[in-house]
């Protein structure tokens, strides 16, 4: 088979540099292997899903990307530059925002106060310096509305919102404060079907806003609804890596459920045929 030569003067499309790239990253705690040789790419405008059961290494991976822990082997790059983050604040400064499952919100504080928690704007100077509450209220309402969240009262305690709504506020906050990469730790784990759908809609909105999203989940159905890339972890190691074009939902679910191990278990559990003991009349 012959291939056509590229037109004279044409140049190949340049490869996109991932916003975040892990190449063969490993992490050990003494003799315990938490991660071994894990690779992941996160591109702008894409969602990379990391799937695995409890103990698969998902939490350790989050902590490395978020700057809580440093990797022991392999390479961690941010926009092509090798990095070793010393703290979550450094990760934020480099454009990586992590939304944990517990969300780290103050339930009795209003929505607008949680939106700006730790980054409150002020007005005035000297002894007259004070929080710019009006600006925080306006901005919170406008930013939530921009993400499609029409919250009538941003003065209500954030604890009165549903779990899905609180997740959406956290996503909108990360977008507003200039995150380039958004890491979401099991955002739908404790939610019902309807609330999970709401959260996934805003995850897709963050992707459409140009962010690179890392979605940590144990639910292949949720991952396949929005994902562009899939990395499967098992006992701290990679058991698969696929793009959306390379795998179907059924195969992703099968691999997530154990693949060949599940087939072996099915054979073990199949009811054996009852023995023919004869016993007919003489």
What mean pLDDT do residues 133-154 have? Answer: 88
Summarize the chain as % helix, strand, coil (round to 5): 35, 25, 40
Question: What Å distances lie between residue 265 and 167, 220, 257, CA to CA?
Answer: 37, 20, 11
Give dist(CA 185, CA 64) in Å, integer: 13
Q: What is the pLDDT of residue 130?
A: 87
- Write out pLDDT tens, residues 255-266: 887 665 555 656
10 Å Cβ neighbour count for 162?
Answer: 14
Question: What Å distances lie between residue 225 and 18, 87, 114, 235, 271, CA to CA?
Answer: 22, 32, 29, 25, 36
**Contact between residue 188 and residue 156 where contact means Cβ atoms under 8 Å apart:** no
**Contact between residue 181 and residue 42 where contact means Cβ atoms under 8 Å apart:** yes
Question: How many residues does the structure list for the chain?
Answer: 282
Give dist(CA 56, CA 72) in Å, integer: 18
pLDDT at 106 over 80: yes
DSSP 113: H
CA atoms within 13 A on the CB side of 16: 11
pLDDT at 221 over 90: yes
- Average pLDDT, rounded, for the chain: 85
User: Scanning the structure block, which residue is given the tokens 């056509």?
Assistant: 4
**Contact between residue 97 and residue 183 where contact means Cβ atoms under 8 Å apart:** yes
Topology adopted by domain 20-105+161-262: Rossmann fold (3.40.50)
Task: Enumerate the domain spans of the chain.
Answer: 20-105+161-262
Percentage of residues of the chain with pLDDT beyond 90: 47
Q: What is the pLDDT of residue 167?
A: 86
Of the candidates 133, 161, 223, 153, the one whose C-alpha atom is nearest the C-alpha of residue 186 is: 223
Q: What is the pLDDT of residue 41?
A: 94
When pLDDT is cut at 50, 70 and 90, the band that residue 1 belongs to is very low
Of the candidates 170, 156, 180, 202, the one whose C-alpha atom is nearest the C-alpha of residue 45 is: 180
Q: What is the pLDDT of residue 260?
A: 58
DSSP per residue over 177-246, as a string?
TT-SEEEEESTTTT--HHHHHHHHHHHHHHHHTT-EEEEEES-HHHHHHH-SEEEEEETTEEEEEEEGGG
What mean pLDDT do residues 125-147 have? Answer: 88
When pLDDT is cut at 50, 70 and 90, the band that residue 2 belongs to is very low
What mean pLDDT do residues 103-127 have? Answer: 86
- Write out pLDDT tens, residues 44-65: 999 999 998 888 889 899 999 9
From 24-28, 161-165, 278-282, the region with the lowest mean pLDDT: 278-282
Question: What Å distances lie between residue 74 and 25, 84, 169, 192, 199, CA to CA?
Answer: 4, 11, 34, 38, 33
- Write out pLDDT tens, residues 10-39: 555 457 889 999 999 999 988 888 999 999
Tokens standing for residue 72: 């022991």
């Amino acid at each position: 088979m012959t291939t056509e030569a590229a037109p004279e003067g044409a140049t190949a499309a340049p490869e996109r540099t991932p916003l975040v790239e892990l190449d063969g990253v490993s992490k050990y705690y003494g003799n315990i292997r938490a991660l071994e040789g894990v690779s992941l790419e996160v591109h702008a405008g894409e969602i990379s899903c990391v799937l695995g059961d409890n103990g698969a290494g998902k939490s350790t991976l989050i902590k490395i990307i978020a700057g809580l822990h440093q990797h022991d082997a392999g390479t961690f790059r941010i926009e092509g530059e090798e990095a070793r983050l010393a703290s979550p604040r450094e990760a934020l400064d480099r454009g990586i925002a992590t939304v944990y499952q517990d969300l780290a919100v103050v339930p009795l504080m209003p929505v607008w106060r949680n939106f700006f928690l730790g980054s409150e704007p002020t007005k005035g100077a000297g002894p007259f310096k004070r929080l710019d509450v009006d600006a925080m209220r306006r901005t919170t309402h406008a930013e939530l509305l921009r993400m499609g969240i029409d919250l009538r009262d941003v003065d209500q305690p954030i604890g009165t919102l549903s779990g899905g709504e609180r997740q959406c506020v956290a996503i909108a906050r990360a977008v507003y404060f200039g995150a380039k990469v958004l890491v979401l730790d099991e955002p739908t784990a404790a939610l019902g079907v309807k609330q999970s759908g709401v959260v996934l809609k805003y995850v897709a909105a963050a992707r459409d806003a140009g962010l690179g999203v890392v979605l940590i989940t144990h639910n292949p159905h949720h991952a396949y609804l929005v994902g562009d890339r899939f990395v499967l972890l098992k006992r701290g190691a990679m058991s698969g890596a696929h793009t959306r074009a390379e795998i179907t939902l059924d195969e992703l679910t099968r691999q997530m459920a154990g693949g060949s191990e599940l087939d072996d278990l099915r054979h073990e559990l199949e009811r054996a045929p009852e023995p023919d003991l004869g016993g007919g009349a003489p």
